[in-house]
């Protein structure tokens, strides 16, 4: 599971000057650069390990494009060919618009918005597209199997320009076939949702206490009328890219920090070779138990948000190393995990008697790949398998150099001035915003997701399409509830009894109002984390209405969130946590549906318009993406590796073009 940033404009903290955080700006996106402090202080072997893992992280990029939509690679390669080879007027409006569209394709790893999942429509004309394709040498185009240029254009034009074709990457709307109406490529379009569900129900039939993550690493297709899984593995689907990943992992394994880590890497290699999900579980267990290594990584088919049925894993990678100073904070939290579990406001039946191995650390990211690039989470908690989490615990990370980059880029952008009620809230945000935001992420990741248990016999997928939202709400509420507990002061995680208010205020403002800056006018909320945040904020707002716990005040025609009673707000968070945990533990899908549909989905139109107008005036981008640093091997005269250097000079366009050139082992259609 992952945590995403709540809103732009959180807080301020002065770090590395002379570092250029902002790289590019287009559509609703700002591209940032992140700094990797302390990379130079690592030993040579660790740097070398990071280098190989980085390469492995980049090799999976095309897998994700193909998972997101089967035409993505063809479209990206066509547009890149135009961008690189176009000889006509490169300063024309149409060419500029095509460049903007290509930048959006890189940001979304395909033709859909990375966050709203809607297909974006180009601002250049079909006529220009045709002329541009004809303008360049056909040998530069991604033509497959004797396809002509005309055929390529005829194939791509409707997919790029017609808004009714593939309108939504992952469809979560009620009452339609979610497989048929989703544009992604986890299921063949000849397969219906009903067929998928019955296929996996049959597979899951046996009472298994340690079930594999069914369907995680495969595409479901119909062959000769029969439904089968095409497995992602060497020799299987995405084989060429997976071979390249494994090639780098084999080098990484040779410079592993210790035997345990070597074993982790080897088991992952084995999984990629066989596609066996039992091996994947072995790998997950070994990975979660490796707590000594300084360098760590995620590489594989991991999160299931992109599958409307929550089974298929999108490919992602993150390479990182421990931020030792900041990790002291999360170690305090994990050491006290049992205390938090015992004192949580949920029914005793749903609590873990013994919380196992909640390990948490703060990391410095060295490389983002696949579904973590260019948009990236700020926190991660893995593995996702419920029984492994129950028996072996989970590993939780907060990515501090990414949150730092967000904070730096939002310095003085006017966001808090526009949306916060008065100076008191702004002061709180300035003083404690960064600290409390990081603490909330830590509590969310290392305690929230790891807390509670399912009653015996309850299927972990029981909440179906509502599962992700409920799970995120549970983790957020756990963090919010304890944020203002005296225990936090006793553990010296916050400096005083006021600081938590910064997070409470920001959370409510974001959930009730400002996250709407990320939603197109007239649209509802789709994404699980956003649904969860609105669900929590509007539920506590409504339940506390008669006591005016939280107000929505108007001033000069502008709406503001005002919190009148922080301690009652806390007990409301506690009440909702108890209910959400009950829903999760008992698999009460009806209650989950009611809660999510009532509070998490629908948007107040007039408030939405107001927020968009105010936000628009600030000229800020609602979404951020990142470029990675560039790592280079330095060799001495004997040809031995003597150093690995890091540089921050590559811009967004150059980086993506280079990745497409160096890490593109898959065919156009898979």
Q: What's the Cα-to-Cα distance from 303 to each of 110, 298, 371, 372, 384, rounded to whole Å? A: 18, 11, 9, 10, 8
Q: Cβ of residue 362: shortest distance to Zn ion, in angstroms?
A: 16
Residue among 80 and 472 whose Cβ is closer to Zn ion: 472
Three-class SS state of 261 = helix
Q: Which is nearer to Zn ion, 3 or 517 (CB)?
A: 3
Q: How far is CA 35 from CA 13, 472, 655, in A?
A: 14, 28, 16
Q: Using alpha carbons, select from 485, 651, 504, 669 the residue that is nearest to residue 103.
A: 651
C-beta closer to Zn ion: residue 475 or 525: 475
Contact between 402 and Zn ion by CB under 5 A: the answer reads no
Residue 658 CA to residue 147 CA, distance in Å, equals 26
Query: Residues 530-569 vs Zn ion: string with x where CB under 5 A?
Result: ----------------------------------------
CA angle in degrees (0–180, nearest 5) for 462-467-473: 135
x-marked contacts with Zn ion along 435-474 as a string, rule CB under 5 A: -------------------------------------x--
Return d(Cα 413, Cα 391) in angstroms, integer: 46
| Contact pattern from residue 86 through residue 115 relative to Zn ion, giving x for each residue in contact according to CB under 5 A and a dash for the rest | ------------------------------
Nearest to Zn ion of 114, 444 (CB atom): 444
Q: Which stretch binds Zn ion (CB under 5 A): 3-11, 20-28, 155-163, 613-621?
A: 3-11
**Residue placing its CB nearer to Zn ion in the complex, 156 or 475:** 475
What is the token pair recorded at 382?
């893995």
DSSP, res 417: H
Interaction between residue 133 and Zn ion (CB under 5 A): no
Q: Is residue 530 a contact partner of residue 517, using CB atoms and an 8 Å limit? A: no
Q: Assign residue 393 a region: left if phi > 0, alpha if psi is -120 to 50, beta otherwise?
A: left
Nearest residue to Zn ion on Cβ basis? 1
Ramachandran category for residue 334: left, alpha or beta (phi over 0 → left; psi -120 to 50 → alpha): alpha
DSSP alpha helices (H): ranges in 109-221? 126-135, 149-161, 193-204
Q: Which of 1, 319, 493, 668 binds Zn ion (CB under 5 A)?
A: 1
Site for Zn ion in 218-247 (CB under 5 A): none
CB of 190 to Zn ion, least distance (A): 34
Q: Min. distance of Cβ 396 from Zn ion in angstroms?
A: 9
State which residue, 279 or 403, has the beta carbon closest to Zn ion: 403
The residue among 216 and 475 lying less far from Zn ion, judged by its C-beta, is 475
- Minimum distance between the CB of residue 146 and Zn ion, rounded to whole angstroms? 48
Q: Is 360 in the site for Zn ion (CB under 5 A)?
A: no
- Rounded CA-CA distance 95/91 in Å is 7
- Does position 475 interact with Zn ion (CB under 5 A)? The reply is yes
Q: State which residue, 118 or 476, has the beta carbon closest to Zn ion.
A: 476
* Residue 515 DSSP symbol: G
Q: Which residues contact 543 (CB under 8 A, 6 or more apart)?
A: 572, 575, 576
What minimum distance in Å lies between the beta carbon of 150 and Zn ion?
Answer: 48
- Cis bond upstream, residue 566 (ω within 30): no
Q: Using the rule CB under 5 A, is 509 a contact of Zn ion?
A: no
Nearer to Zn ion by Cβ, of 106 and 340: the residue is: 340
CA–CA distance, 184 with 166 (Å, rounded to integer): 8
Candidate segments 2-10, 184-192, 204-212, 506-514, binder of Zn ion by CB under 5 A: 2-10
Cβ 446 to Zn ion shortest distance, Å: 11
Binding residues for Zn ion, rule: CB under 5 A, are: 1, 3, 472, 475
């Amino acid at each position: 599971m992952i945590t995403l940033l709540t809103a732009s404009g959180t807080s301020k903290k002065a770090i590395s000057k002379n570092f250029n955080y902002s790289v590019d700006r287009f559509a609703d996106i700002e591209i940032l650069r992140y700094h990797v402090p302390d990379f130079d202080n690592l030993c040579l072997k660790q740097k070398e390990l990071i280098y190989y893992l980085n390469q492995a992280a980049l090799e999976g990029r095309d897998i994700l494009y193909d998972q997101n939509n089967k035409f993505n690679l063809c479209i990206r390669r066509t547009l890149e060919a135009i961008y690189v080879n176009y000889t006509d007027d490169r300063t024309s409006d149409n060419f500029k618009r095509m460049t903007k569209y290509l930048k959006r394709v890189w940001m979304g790893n395909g033709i859909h918005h990375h966050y709203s999942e809607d297909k974006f429509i180009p601002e250049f004309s079909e006529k220009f597209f045709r002329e541009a394709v004809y303008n360049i040498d056909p040998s530069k185009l991604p033509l497959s199997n004797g396809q002509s240029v005309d055929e390529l254009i005829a194939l791509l034009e409707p997919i790029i320009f017609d808004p009714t074709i593939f309108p939504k990457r992952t469809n979560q709307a009620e009452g339609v076939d979610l497989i048929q109406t989703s544009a992604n490529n986890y299921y063949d379009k000849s397969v219906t949702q009903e067929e998928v569900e019955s296929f996996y129900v049959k597979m899951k039939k046996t009472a298994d206490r340690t079930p594999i993550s069914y369907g995680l690493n495969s595409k479901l297709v119909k062959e000769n009328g029969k439904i089968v899984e095409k497995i992602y593995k060497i020799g299987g689907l995405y084989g060429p890219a997976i071979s390249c990943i494994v090639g780098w992992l084999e080098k990484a394994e040779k410079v592993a920090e210790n035997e345990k880590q070597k074993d982790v890497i080897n088991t992952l290699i084995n999984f990629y070779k066989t596609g066996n999900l039992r091996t994947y579980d072995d790998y997950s267990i070994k990975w979660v138990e490796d707590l000594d290594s300084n360098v760590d990584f995620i590489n594989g088919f991991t999160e299931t948000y992109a599958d409307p049925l929550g089974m298929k894993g999108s490919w992602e990678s993150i390479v990182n190393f421990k931020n030792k100073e900041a990790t002291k904070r999360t170690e305090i939290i994990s050491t006290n995990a049992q205390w938090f579990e015992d004192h949580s406001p949920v029914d005793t039946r749903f609590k873990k008697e013994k919380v196992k191995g909640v390990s948490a650390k703060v990391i410095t990211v060295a490389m983002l790949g696949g579904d973590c690039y260019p948009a990236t989470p700020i926190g991660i908690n893995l593995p996702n398998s419920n029984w492994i989490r129950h028996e072996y615990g989970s590993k939780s990370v907060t990515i501090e150099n990414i949150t730092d980059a967000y904070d730096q880029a939002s310095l003085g952008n006017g966001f808090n001035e526009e949306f916060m009620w008065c100076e008191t809230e702004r002061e709180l945000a300035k003083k404690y915003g960064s600290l409390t935001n990081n603490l909330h992420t830590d509590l969310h990741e290392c305690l929230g997701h790891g807390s509670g248990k399912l009653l015996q016999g309850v299927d972990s997928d029981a909440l179906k399409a509502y599962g992700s939202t409920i799970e995120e709400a549970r983790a957020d509420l756990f963090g919010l509830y304890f944020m203002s507990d005296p225990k936090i002061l006793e553990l010296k995680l916050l400096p005083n009894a006021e600081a938590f208010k910064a997070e409470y205020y920001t959370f409510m403002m974001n959930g009730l109002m400002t996250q709407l800056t990320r939603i197109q006018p007239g649209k509802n909320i789709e994404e699980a984390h956003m649904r969860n945040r609105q669900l929590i904020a509007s539920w506590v707002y409504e339940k506390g209405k008669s006591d005016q716990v939280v107000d929505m005040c108007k001033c000069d025609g502008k709406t503001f969130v005002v919190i009148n009673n922080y301690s009652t707000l806390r007990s409301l968070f506690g009440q909702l946590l108890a209910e959400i945990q009950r829903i999760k533990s008992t698999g009460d899908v009806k209650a989950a549906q009611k809660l999510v549909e009532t509070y998490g989905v629908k948007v107040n139109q007039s408030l939405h318009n107001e927020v968009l107008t105010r936000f628009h005036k600030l000229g800020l981008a609602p979404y951020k993406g990142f470029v990675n640093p560039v790592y280079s091997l330095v060799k001495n005269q004997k040809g031995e590796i003597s150093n690995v250097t890091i540089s921050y000079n590559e811009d967004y366009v150059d980086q993506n073009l280079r990745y497409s050139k160096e890490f593109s082992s898959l065919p156009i259609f898979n």
